[in-house]
Chain A
Amino acid sequence: MSREPVVILLAEDDEGHAQLVQRNLKRAGITNEVQRVEDGQLALDYVRREGNFSDRTRSGPLLVLLDINMPRIDGIEVLRQIKADTSLATIPVIMLTTTDNPREIEACYQLGCSIYITKPVEYEPFVEAIKRLGLFLQVVRVPRENQLPIGAAS
């Protein structure tokens, strides 16, 4: 597998948060393409190449950054559906959200998210978290998309 750059799918409804994440990723030296979607449905469409993204052909390593509170389909449901689908289950999913309800954290880990990051209000720790995420992305191996079995469940 060649070292193709990972595509980051950022599912975040709040424009401000999305901007902050992207700016700081850049500042941390992460130049990977970041695809932003505003809600859970679009996120699922993207990974399944349906709906608005049915004509997507790019197929490289994919990583999903998921906020929980999103309209239409929330982050937890997206996580569940991704992990339930064998063709998509290997995609790493990172929960990035403000809530720190231990029950929710537990639920996400049970469903199979790779990491759960709480967005702190303090700016420094937030940036630090993103920076670390970047480093993480640089070292981790993310499976290529076209290695996954084609044809997600509709």
Chain B
Amino acid sequence: MSIHPLPRFRSFAVLFTLICCACAVGIGGLVLVGWTFDFLPLKSVLPGRVAMNPATAVCFILAGASLFILREPAPKPGRRRLAHVAAVIVATVGAVKIASYFLDWDPGIDRFLFRTRIGSNEIAPNTAVNFLLVGLALLCIDCRTRGGRWPAQGMAIFVAIGSILSLVGYAFGARILYGVPAAIPMALNTAMTFHLLALGLLASRPGRGLAGLIFGSSTGGALARRLIPAAIAIPALIGWLRHAGQQRGLFDSELGVALMVAATIVSLLLLILWTAETVNRMDGRRRQAEASLRESESCFRLLVDSVQDYAIFMLDREGRIATWNAGAQRIKGYKAEEIIGQHISRFIPEAARPVSDLELHRAETEGRFEEEAWRQRKDGTRFWASVIITPIRNADGQLTGFAKVTRDITQRRNAEQAIQELTQSLERRVAERTAELAESNRQLRQQNEENETFVYSVSHDLRSPLVNLQGFSKELETSCQDIRELLASDDVAPALQRRALSTLDDGMKEPIRFIQTAVTRLSSIIDALLRLSRAGRVEYHPVPVDVAAVVNRVIDSMRGTTTARRARITVHELHPVLADPTSVEQVFANLVGNAINYLDPKRPGDIHIGMEPMEAANSSNDRAGMVTFFVRDNGCGIPSAHRAKVFRAFQRLRPELAQGEGMGLAIVRRMVERHGGRIWLQSTESVGTTFFFTMPAAETGCTDQIEGPDYYEREEASCLVNQ
């Protein structure tokens, strides 16, 4: 198990390891320098103390270097090999020296360097043991037993302990350490360096084992961090006090011991009391945290449990159900005890099973999995579900399980489907209706065409005999002329000549003339009927029409007649209408033409074209939304008897004033009524006449749109004006 060290110790540990390595290498180096130049202080730090063996120095350098490389948990393979080689050398030196103590074999490994000056300096037995341990520890720094322990740490601790005695002894100047020639004691610097190496080894893996404990965030670590300094300082202090006291002669050895024991007991008791209180406090805090956590957990659980509409539950890493709530029971049908421990693939209908594992995998990799799909209840029925799976990770970022929320949206789906079906059927119906309309349109158009063709063929059939009538009446005329010429010759008797000529004139020429006039009349009637029929049938495409522009055009085209009759036309403001442009033009042309033609020759003509003020659009009056135009003249007027018949076909009031068949107003009325308007008149004999008509108003801001061929290029135009 690896405990995570508190972050603030991590950088300290790294630094500390570095320092230890540096010191080991440095001290070793300095000693070697001292041996090279025979400089005693470097060799043994304190005067009179034992000097560090050069082999020891070399080993320290190697060990320091090796630890430097191995301080990172994953060094490059090449460097790691170097580190291992160094460790092996160090261990070998130690092993050989130990062997030399037990066996008779002494290769003199510690006398190899500086042979001449070495003298009797050799590696102490405890040093040798320590080196063996250090080397082995470096080699197995990352090895771990099945019990979860780290042998390297144990070895490092042993090394540290092994050097403590030397250090303390040096501190208190224990004679025993000097006086034993058989066991050359560890030099001071050796002891220190071993200590540093051991601590460095421990610090290099601050997350493991003992180091982990000390550096960790647990209560034990906190305690250890506080107690370890005390454990070192208090005995050292007491010992030093006793030593100093005895040295000064304050008390003798027996009292000194007694004092020391007493002081130790008291300190330990105080320490224990302090520890107990600290632990209590920390424990208390922990229990409080636990309690509030439990409380919030139970609140949360209550919340989740009480939700009926959503199934909210937890899964473990493999997808087995860990918790359950009321909503889950309601939606899926399983009780908690039945389902906990089962795999969630249970909920997926048989057919879709193979892909169920994909959910968890995708939730894990993408951070969230959401879909709408079929799920299965306990009783086998299916429902449409909205499923959301989110992964749960611990503080390390590792996956510990999943949270799943399922919602039964069968109803919603049904509603959506119903809407879709409705929309589709609506669209279908619209399409059908459109097809129907298109069909009926087509039929109407066809009908129209047939009517048109009928009218044309009828008019053609009607005209055909007329051609004959007219043609042959001309032939008669020509023959008459021929006879006349014949009669004019000298062969003919004058009496015969006279009588024959008179017969020709009265009996032939007059009748022929009447025939011709009648034929001409018949022809124009047919034409007019054709036009009337067309006026009733032609399709109108209403567009916004700029009436002012139309009227101006009409007036322009009549300029000749207007000037001839000395008439003046005044155009007032005119509102645009929504109508067939050609019809508008024809209506105005006809009305204005009439106005000109029926002027009173006794006075100059004064014609006004304008419109009445518009009614409000929302008025209930039937003129609402329509524009009322007028064409006023000061002509002959129409006698009251005739007013009713004015708009009828074939009505001509004053045939002598103008040509035409009397069709114009009938056509005009047909056109106006087809636009939904009305036409009427006011007139006073010998004063004047005003024609009114209404047409649907257009939105303001339209543009002049007269589509289609220019009115006056069409044959009808001139005929209509002459009506």
A86, B464: Cα distance in complex, Å: 33
Q: In the bound complex, do residue B460 and residue A20 qualify as a contact, i.e. CB atoms below 8 Å apart?
A: no
Interface membership of A90, Cβ < 8 A: no
Which one of A16, A20, A99 contacts B457 once the chains associate, using CB atoms below 8 Å?
Answer: A99
Q: In the bound complex, do residue A126 and residue B467 qualify as a contact, i.e. CB atoms below 8 Å apart?
A: yes
Residues of chain B within 8 A (CB-CB) of A17 are 464, 467-468, 471
Residues of chain B within 8 A (CB-CB) of A16 are 467-468, 471-472
Encode B441-483 as 1/0 by CB contact (under 8 A) with A.
0000000000011001101110110111011111100000000
Interface stretch among A45-53, A57-65, A116-124?
A: A116-124
Encode A23-44 as 1/0 by CB contact (under 8 A) with B.
1000000000000000000000
Q: In the bound complex, do residue A121 and residue B453 qualify as a contact, i.e. CB atoms below 8 Å apart?
A: no
Which one of A99, A101, A121 contacts B523 once the chains associate, using CB atoms below 8 Å?
Answer: A121
From B452, B464, B472, B473, residue with most partner A Cβ within 10 Å:
B464
CB distance from B528 to the nearest CB of A (A): 13
Chain A residues numbered 68-127 whose CB sits less than 8 Å from any CB in chain B: 69, 97-101, 103-104, 119, 121-123, 126-127
Residues of chain A within 8 A (CB-CB) of B520 are 121-122
Q: In the bound complex, do residue A69 and residue B471 qualify as a contact, i.e. CB atoms below 8 Å apart?
A: no
Encode A4-28 as 1/0 by CB contact (under 8 A) with B.
0000000000101101100100000
A69, B459: Cα distance in complex, Å: 13
A121, B462: Cα distance in complex, Å: 11
Q: In the bound complex, do residue A98 and residue B463 qualify as a contact, i.e. CB atoms below 8 Å apart?
A: yes
Q: In the bound complex, do residue B456 and residue A123 qualify as a contact, i.e. CB atoms below 8 Å apart?
A: no
Q: In the bound complex, do residue B471 and residue A101 qualify as a contact, i.e. CB atoms below 8 Å apart?
A: no
Residues of chain B within 8 A (CB-CB) of A97 are 460
Residue of A nearest to B524 (CB): A121
From A20, A104, A127, residue with most partner B Cβ within 10 Å:
A20
Chain B residues numbered 464-521 whose CB sits less than 8 Å from any CB in chain A: 464, 466-468, 470-475, 516, 519-520
Supposing A17-B464, A23-B475 touch, asked if A121 and B456 sit within 8 A by C-beta, the answer is no
Supposing A20-B471, A126-B471 touch, asked if A121 and B460 sit within 8 A by C-beta, the answer is no
Residues of chain B within 8 A (CB-CB) of A126 are 467, 470-471
Residue of B nearest to A67 (CB): B464
Residues of chain B within 8 A (CB-CB) of A98 are 460, 463-464, 467
CB distance from B611 to the nearest CB of A (A): 35
Q: In the bound complex, do residue B470 and residue A14 qualify as a contact, i.e. CB atoms below 8 Å apart?
A: no
CB distance from A25 to the nearest CB of B (A): 13
Residue of B nearest to A16 (CB): B468
A122, B457: Cα distance in complex, Å: 19
A122, B523: Cα distance in complex, Å: 9
A69, B465: Cα distance in complex, Å: 13
Chain A residues numbered 113-154 whose CB sits less than 8 Å from any CB in chain B: 119, 121-123, 126-127
Residues of chain A within 8 A (CB-CB) of B472 are 16, 19-20
Q: In the bound complex, do residue B464 and residue A14 qualify as a contact, i.e. CB atoms below 8 Å apart?
A: yes
A145, B523: Cα distance in complex, Å: 40
A123, B477: Cα distance in complex, Å: 12
Size bracket of the A interface:
20 to 34
Q: In the bound complex, do residue B474 and residue A104 qualify as a contact, i.e. CB atoms below 8 Å apart?
A: no
Q: In the bound complex, do residue B453 and residue A101 qualify as a contact, i.e. CB atoms below 8 Å apart?
A: yes
Q: In the bound complex, do residue B475 and residue A121 qualify as a contact, i.e. CB atoms below 8 Å apart?
A: no
A99, B526: Cα distance in complex, Å: 12
Supposing A16-B472, A121-B523, A122-B520 touch, asked if A99 and B467 sit within 8 A by C-beta, the answer is no
CB distance from B703 to the nearest CB of A (A): 29
Supposing A23-B475, A121-B519, A121-B523 touch, asked if A99 and B468 sit within 8 A by C-beta, the answer is no
Residues of chain A within 8 A (CB-CB) of B452 are 101, 103
Q: In the bound complex, do residue A121 and residue B457 qualify as a contact, i.e. CB atoms below 8 Å apart?
A: no
A104, B519: Cα distance in complex, Å: 25
A14, B460: Cα distance in complex, Å: 13
Residue of B nearest to A23 (CB): B475
A119, B466: Cα distance in complex, Å: 10
Residue of A nearest to B470 (CB): A123
Q: In the bound complex, do residue A104 and residue B475 qualify as a contact, i.e. CB atoms below 8 Å apart?
A: no
Supposing A20-B475, A121-B520 touch, asked if A99 and B460 sit within 8 A by C-beta, the answer is yes
Residues of chain A within 8 A (CB-CB) of B470 are 121-123, 126
Residues of chain A within 8 A (CB-CB) of B464 are 14, 17, 69, 98
Residue of B nearest to A97 (CB): B460
Residues of chain B within 8 A (CB-CB) of A121 are 463, 466-467, 470, 519-520, 523
Residue of A nearest to B462 (CB): A98
CB distance from A123 to the nearest CB of B (A): 4
Encode B522-535 as 1/0 by CB contact (under 8 A) with A.
01000000000000
CB distance from A11 to the nearest CB of B (A): 15
CB distance from A17 to the nearest CB of B (A): 6
A52, B456: Cα distance in complex, Å: 33
Residue of A nearest to B449 (CB): A103
Q: In the bound complex, do residue A20 and residue B468 qualify as a contact, i.e. CB atoms below 8 Å apart?
A: yes
A122, B466: Cα distance in complex, Å: 9
A17, B460: Cα distance in complex, Å: 14
CB distance from A103 to the nearest CB of B (A): 8
Residues of chain A within 8 A (CB-CB) of B468 are 14, 16-17, 20
Residue of A nearest to B456 (CB): A101
Q: In the bound complex, do residue B460 and residue A123 qualify as a contact, i.e. CB atoms below 8 Å apart?
A: no
A97, B471: Cα distance in complex, Å: 14
Residue of A nearest to B468 (CB): A16
CB distance from A69 to the nearest CB of B (A): 7
Residues of chain A within 8 A (CB-CB) of B473 are 123
A-B contact pairs, 19 of them (CB 8 A): A16-B468, A16-B472, A17-B467, A17-B468, A17-B471, A20-B471, A20-B475, A98-B467, A99-B456, A101-B460, A103-B453, A121-B470, A121-B519, A121-B520, A121-B523, A122-B523, A123-B473, A123-B516, A126-B467
Closest 9 CB pairs of A and B: A16-B468, A99-B460, A101-B456, A20-B471, A121-B523, A123-B474, A121-B466, A98-B463, A123-B470
A residues near B (Cβ < 8 Å) are 14, 16-17, 19-20, 23, 69, 97-101, 103-104, 119, 121-123, 126-127
